[in-house]
Structure 1
């Protein structure tokens, strides 16, 4: 299963678990969906990129193609890979912390510790002066 299929499967499993449970063979279904998404991203990317402008440098072309791919992926994620908002369920407040929430909590803790360290360094510098 490619990354688009994995993304879609996780999105459906977490935001529309009842609908996900009704899919007879989720792995096969999301594998096919991932393949279709890959094809659509490629088509849409080329449409969005358009023809090569006259005088475009190599790096400009790379940037234009990368931007069109990211835009195509965003469109495909919204149109093909995520459940319709009408079937999405709001997560329970007591559910396990998501990966993003965990990462945010860790970053906030590191920032607090960093501030404490530099405050201590500044205090010691002030005492020595």
Structure 2
């Protein structure tokens, strides 16, 4: 019988067997875990990308024009309570934007009828742009900016302070009474003109200063936060002591 070493000097190697796909060895389990994690991450990324693309598509396909977007932003800022009460803000401002656009076009056409026919091209283009801005301003003021602004807490605070102070009519009456007293005294003393004492002058200056503060040129709800804060601070020295203590 021949020996295994007679030709190569070493026993023949045993053919390596291929592990079946159903093997449950440690290496195979780790491989499946890595593949499962990669698949899970991939699915998350796909879902995230799908959400982003859907939102971008919705944004591109939005039918709300720029007038509707402008009106929506104005309501959010100046009438947040009324905005929150809207059942379908998107539908409301889409319709409002279309209404504004139609009225802007109609108003612009009416304004263009007054343009001279002999205008040169560039001059006519400039005039048309000006008329478009005028038409937009007219319609936006009527349909968008006319929404009643909701009073802020500072506006309510100013109204409360004004309720604690004399009205402009009462202050004017006090000033007139002060002048009448000075005139009567001048007649009694035989002076050529009324003269105010130092105390009366201080009282007059205080009344005039307060009159300028309580006489408002517009409703507090229409004033900016800076204007409200400045007016409230200026009124503080004129408040009755008990009211000032309460406000503090």
TM-score (norm 2): 0.34
* Counterpart residue number, 1:88: 150
Among 72, 84, 88, the alignment partner of 1:9 is: 72
1:30 matched to 2:93? The reply is yes
Q: Deviations over 1:2-57 (max 9, x none)?
A: 10000000000110011111111001100010011111100001111225413210
Give the Cα separation in 1 of the matches to 2:132 and 2:101: 11
Q: CA deviation at 1:83?
A: 4.4
Q: Over residues 41-85 of structure 1, what are the superposed CA-to-partner deviations in whole Å (9 max), with x where a residue is unaligned?
A: 000011112254132101111111111100011111111122433
Larger radius of gyration: 2
Q: Distance in 1 between matches of 2:121 and 2:152?
A: 45
Unaligned runs of 5+ in 1: 93-129
User: Could you say which residue in structure 1 is the equivalent of 2:128?
Assistant: 65
Larger RCO (alpha carbons 8 Å, 6+ apart): 1
Q: 1:90 deviation in Å?
A: 4.0
Aligned residue pairs total 91
The corresponding residue for 1:50 is 113
Q: Which 5+ residue runs of structure 2 have no aligned equivalent?
A: 1-63, 155-248
Q: TM-score, normalised by structure 1?
A: 0.64
Q: Separation in 2 of the partners of 1:90 and 1:2?
A: 29
Give the SS at the match of 2:130: helix
* 1:18 matches 2:110: no
C-alpha deviation, 1:91, in angstroms: 7.8
